[in-house]
Amino acid sequence: MVRFRAGAGRPSLDFVRTLRHRDTPHIVEDLSDAAALAAWVTQFGPCRAAPADAAPATRVGAARELREAVFDLVSAGVGGYPPMSGARERVNEAAARPVPAPYLAGDGGLEWAAADPVAATLSLVARDALDLVATGAVARVRVCAGEGCAALFYDGSRPGTRRWCSMDTCGNRAKKQTLRAKAGA
Ligand SMILES: [Zn+2]
């Protein structure tokens, strides 16, 4: 089941955008409860998670705190200033947890398993964030130019001129607005 926006170009940035329309009056919390957290892990991680894997509510709170720490660490990297106190430690802590392990299934396919699928997938997210800020790839992180979107995305285009988190949503909307403005002129 696909219910969350993907396509930010990096798992850590897809995770950050579970708080949509950040810093705007239309802010939306996608990680509303354990079922939502489990659904995110299932959509973005290599192994499935059930709502029971993401309970209790304190785990959802911790996942949101990790998300804000990732956001802060990446924003600091983009802006070239030091992250807020505790953000680096929180992401480091999540990255230290075991990640999903691969195994060969009976049908010959590669599957992934984890004793704690939520923590294991969030470990992948945290490791991606560490890689992003430590390798200089953070210089390719942009804020979407879409009105009220505020999503971060990784600009993998060769000239480095990508403006929107997604052509399907924000890019398309901007293009339509330009056309409408031209038609009205
Ligand atoms: Zn956007």
Q: How many CB atoms lie within 10 A of CB 39?
A: 22
Q: Compute, in angstroms, the gap from residue 149 CA to the centroid of ligand 1.
A: 5
Q: What pLDDT is attached to residue 185?
A: 59
Question: Is the bond leading into 56 cis (omega within 30 degrees of zero)?
Answer: yes
Q: Which residues contact 109 (CB under 8 A, 6 or more apart)?
A: none
Q: Compute, in angstroms, the gap from residue 17 CA to the centroid of ligand 1.
A: 10
The pLDDT confidence band at residue 172, using thresholds 50, 70 and 90, is: confident
Q: Compute, in angstroms, the gap from residue 155 CA to the centroid of ligand 1.
A: 13
Q: Compute, in angstroms, the gap from residue 44 CA to the centroid of ligand 1.
A: 19
Q: Compute, in angstroms, the gap from residue 49 CA to the centroid of ligand 1.
A: 28
pTM of the predicted model over 0.85:
yes
Q: Which residues contact 96 (CB under 8 A, 6 or more apart)?
A: 123
Q: Compute, in angstroms, the gap from residue 175 CA to the centroid of ligand 1.
A: 13
Query: Where along the chain do its domains lie?
Result: 11-141
What are the distances in angstroms from CA 10 to CA 40, 131, 149, 184?
Answer: 14, 10, 17, 38
Percentage of the residues of the chain whose pLDDT score is greater than 70 = 98
Residue 2 has pLDDT above 80, yes or no: no
Q: Compute, in angstroms, the gap from residue 68 CA to the centroid of ligand 1.
A: 18
Q: What pLDDT is attached to residue 167?
A: 79
Mean pLDDT of the chain: 93
Q: Compute, in angstroms, the gap from residue 16 CA to the centroid of ligand 1.
A: 13
Q: Compute, in angstroms, the gap from residue 157 CA to the centroid of ligand 1.
A: 16
Q: What pLDDT is attached to residue 112?
A: 97
User: Which has more pLDDT, 97 or 185?
Assistant: 97
pLDDT tens, residue by residue, 91-149: 999 999 999 999 999 999 999 999 999 999 999 999 999 999 999 899 999 999 998 88
Residue 1 has pLDDT above 60, yes or no: no
The alpha-helical segments, DSSP class H, found in the chain are 11-16, 34-44, 51-54, 57-79, 87-95, 117-134, 172-184
What are the distances in angstroms from CA 117 to CA 41, 172, 173, 174?
Answer: 8, 35, 36, 38
Residue 38 has pLDDT above 60, yes or no: yes
Asked if 162 and 143 count as a contact pair (C-beta separation under 8 A), the reply is no
Q: Compute, in angstroms, the gap from residue 74 CA to the centroid of ligand 1.
A: 17
